[in-house]
Structure 1
């Protein structure tokens, strides 16, 4: 028999909402977020489709594909753990491109794919999966805290960018896409609905 785990519901709170309005993923606090089926209005990652990159080696780079990475979600508790692991006082969620920061969901980065996030204001997000840490995000942290750059001034090759990958392992948060449109504001409650789980034995 395959061992299964029953469905669960967990509750948390939205502590921050952020939008990346520039030419890269770095985000800044917003009053609220308006979400449509193509993601957050005006955000760097908005769109029904996106181009494949290094995370999709099964496609030729630049192949147009479904955008399952519309929303980046981080945990307040895990941000503290990452900062401690890197030896810095604080890790701002905007440095690594967060759109939402949640509090109160234990080990949030481990929420499985297909988990539904129901927000008090009416929005529903469907989790695609874990957002693995990369040196590019680490470079933004290194630059923000004034760390020593790597060779040729390249922050992606700095010691701190590399330390981010280690410190943020299974703490980097989740990516999700919009299942139900609406608006999200800081302070509202969120309920995570985790489906029945099992390990496929092959």
Structure 2
């Protein structure tokens, strides 16, 4: 078999794939006209995402995260589901000197337990829910001032604008991940999840 990485070249370290077991601790849905979510007992998922949710749809409009497109360009919606971890939100709250940050304040759809460093899950990670749903992680969810303002307002911070600006710094690499629906169905609160992390490597040209 062809050796793609001969000894004469700098070797590329391959980190093996792994499996984890997790749990869907809490579920949330956003109304169609606002990104903040509310608790629910189940999520009804189609290929467009969560039925009726603010972020549902096969496509979305580009924003500040996609500077390579003019703002408002229609593109594939890879941000159908926002996933966070309670322990990471606790760290962000502490950095912002708040008692708590509720998942619904930042538009989360799913809180997952028992995955260390959830926000560091690589693109391509698959979440297999016991009931049959599969989600595929696309990327980290970059914290923004829009979510920061929501936190500041809901937490009653004295300086709303300062809170909005603080969140992107405090939540860097701790704001969770976004995912899209690979296999639709219904996710229920408390459901077991099999997490399959793919092989990883650092690409260097």
User: Same fold by TM (over 0.5)?
Assistant: yes
- Larger-Rg structure: 2
CA contact (8 A) 2:32 2:52 kept: no
Equivalent residue in structure 1 for 2:60, among 40, 50, 59: 50
1:40-89 deviations in whole A, cap 9, x for unaligned?
A: 00100000011111111111111111000000000011111111111111
Partner of 2:182: 179
Q: CA deviation at 1:22?
A: 4.4
Partner of 2:90: 80
Partner of 1:128: 138
Query: Segments of 4+ in structure 1 off by > 2 A?
Result: none
Partner of 1:32: 42
Normalised TM-score (structure 2)? 0.93
1:136-147 matched pairs, under 5 angstroms: 136-147=146-157
**Please, which runs of 5 or more residues in structure 1 have no aligned partner?**
150-154
1:1-202 matched pairs, under 5 angstroms: 1-149=11-159, 155=160, 158-202=161-205
CA RMSD, Structure 1 to Structure 2 (Å)? 0.9
Normalised TM-score (structure 1)? 0.94
Q: Aligned partners of 1:19 and 1:174: how far apart in 2?
A: 16
